[in-house]
């Protein structure tokens, strides 16, 4: 049987997101225990296929699968037969022979996860595809805001910076809107996709003072590696001067997020990145329980449901 995949945040509806966040909450109780492991996914196999650099997502998915007692295989582009020219399709078909239940996949190109999903019966979780989507980042961001700030419905979240190249923004804007937040974007016009207002429903401004109204200021990484030589901004120094987020540009009580990795001194000052007002470390930490919840949710299909529910009940009861 072909399993459900999570490739874009819009593969989920509001009820799905709420359910995953509730499950993450239950797993966070487990993470507070001495023994941080549950048998929930014993006998399942998770393949982490990371063909683009990652620290947070790859580590937290690997740990999430291990904490759920799954068998985990982690493959990077470097050292795999992709280096010898094997295609993505053949790599997936080869790994399919070992009977995986989930592929967690990061790839530099938009759409690669949908291609992989055509060649496997396993679930495919998009762990970031180029400038496409990063749905589990959006889920962990929603979870972090709900825990640290409060209900998302009615909050104002402002995304600042390089929206054009940001899968974090693409999934995040859609995710926050789905859960009832007002979303705005503050960025240079050269770093805003043309379809943003129509496609994602976020209002756009090029004036950094417009972050003043936001409850949460979400700072985006300047993705120099995706900008080529075209020069989307005159210089990083000028970008930092006009759009860099600092204490001086915030009002008391505003919370600050960044998915990482950060360019300190460019999109965010180092002092702000280290300030407890920023939720950056909480985001990284929450990635673990949210990714446990995603793996659990995808494997709790009709044939798994009784066993999976029993396992989750034992998490709560223990
Ligand atoms: N936020 C994020 O995706 O970080 P990594 O690239 O380190 O996984």
| 259-295 pLDDT per residue, tens | 999 999 999 999 999 999 899 999 999 999 999 999 9
CA gap 22, 24 in Å, rounded: 5
pLDDT tens-digit series, residues 33-89:
999 999 999 999 999 999 999 999 999 999 999 999 999 999 999 999 999 999 999
- For residue 59, tell me if it sits in a domain: yes
Distance 137 CA to ligand 1 centre (A): 8
71 with 98, same domain? yes
pLDDT at 198: 75
**1 vs 197, more confident:** 1
Using 50, 70 and 90 to split pLDDT, how confident is the model at 304? low
Please tell me whether residues 59 and 117 are part of one structural domain. Answer: yes
Answer yes or no: do 267 and 171 share one domain: yes
Q: 269 and 204, same structural domain?
A: yes
Contacts of 45 (CB under 8 A, 6+ apart): 70, 71, 72, 73, 98, 99, 100, 101, 102
Q: Please indicate whether residue 54, judged by its CB atom, sits closer than 6 Å to ligand 1.
A: yes
pLDDT more than 70, % of the chain? 93
| Structural domain includes residue 144 | no
| SS3 call for 43 | coil
- Pair 237, 311 in one domain: no
Dihedral angle computed from the Cα positions of residues 226, 230, 234 and 239, in that order, rounded to the nearest 10 degrees: -10
* 260 Cβ inside 6 Å of ligand 1: yes
Kindly tell me if the per-residue pLDDT of 302 is higher than 70: no
Burial of residue 76, with CB atoms counted within 10 A of its CB: 0-12 exposed, 13-18 middle, 19 or more buried: middle
Placement of tokens 């989507």 in the chain: 133
The whole-number average pLDDT for the span 212-240 is 88
Summarize the confidence of residues 147-176 as an average pLDDT: 97
My answer on whether 110 and 173 are in the same domain is: no
How confident is residue 307, by pLDDT bands cut at 50, 70 and 90? Answer: low
Residue 3 lies in a domain: no
202 with 257, same domain: the answer is: yes
**pLDDT tens by residue, 92-132:** 999 999 999 999 999 999 999 999 999 999 999 999 999 99
Q: 261 alpha carbon to ligand 1 midpoint, in Å? A: 6
User: Across the beta sheet with 156-160, what order do the strands follow?
Assistant: 203-205, 182-186, 156-160, 216-219, 255-258
* pTM of the predicted protein model: 0.94
Query: Are both 190 and 294 inside the same structural domain?
Result: no
> Which of 50, 51, 53, 57 to mutate to test ligand 1, by most ligand atoms within 8 A of the CB atom?
57
pLDDT of amino acid 315 = 63
Give the structural domain span for 309.
9-134+283-317
Pair (28, 128) in one structural domain: yes
4 falls within a domain: no
CATH number of domain containing 64: 3.40.50.1370
Q: Indicate if 251 and 297 belong to the same structural domain.
A: no
Share the mean pLDDT of the chain.
93
Q: Are residues 109 and 26 in the same domain?
A: yes
Question: Considering the domain boundaries, does residue 1 fall inside one?
Answer: no
If asked whether residues 102 and 120 sit together in one domain, one would say yes
Total domains, the chain: 2
Q: Would you say the CB of residue 59 lies under 6 angstroms from ligand 1?
A: no
Q: Quickly state the pLDDT bin for 14 (edges 50, 70, 90).
A: very high
């Amino acid at each position: 049987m072909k399993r459900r995949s999570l490739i874009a945040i819009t593969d989920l509806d509001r009820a799905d997101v709420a359910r995953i966040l509730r499950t993450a909450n239950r797993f966070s109780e487990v993470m507070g225990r001495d023994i941080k492991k549950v048998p929930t996914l014993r006998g399942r196999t998770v393949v982490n296929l990371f063909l683009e650099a990652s620290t947070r997502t790859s580590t937290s998915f690997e740990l999430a699968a291990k904490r759920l007692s799954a068998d985990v295989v982690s493959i990077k582009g470097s050292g795999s037969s992709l280096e010898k020219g094997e295609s993505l399709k053949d790599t997936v078909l080869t790994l399919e022979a070992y009977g995986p239940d989930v592929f967690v996949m990061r790839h530099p190109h938009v759409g690669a996860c949908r291609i992989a999903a055509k060649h496997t019966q396993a679930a495919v979780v998009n762990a970031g595809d180029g400038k496409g989507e990063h749905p589990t980042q959006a889920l962990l961001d929603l979870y972090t805001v709900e825990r640290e700030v409060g209900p998302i419905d009615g909050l104002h979240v402002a995304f600042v910076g390089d929206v054009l190249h940001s899968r974090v923004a693409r999934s995040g804007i859609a995710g926050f809107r789905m859960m009832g937040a007002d979303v705005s974007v503050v960025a240079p016009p050269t770093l805003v996709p043309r379809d943003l207002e129509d496609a994602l429903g976020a209002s756009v401004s090029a004036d950094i003072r417009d972050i003043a109204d936001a409850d949460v200021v979400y700072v985006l990484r300047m993705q120099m590696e995706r900008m080529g030589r075209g020069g989307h901004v005159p210089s990083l120094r000028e970008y930092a001067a006009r759009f860099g987020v600092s204490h001086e540009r915030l009002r008391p009580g505003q919370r600050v997020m960044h998915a990482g990795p950060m360019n300190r001194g460019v999109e965010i000052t180092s002092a702000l990145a280290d300030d407890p007002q920023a939720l950056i470390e909480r985001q990284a930490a929450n990635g673990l329980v949210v990714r446990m919840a995603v793996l659990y949710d995808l494997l709790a299909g009709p044939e798994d449901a009784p066993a999976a529910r029993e396992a989750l009940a034992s998490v709560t009861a223990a």
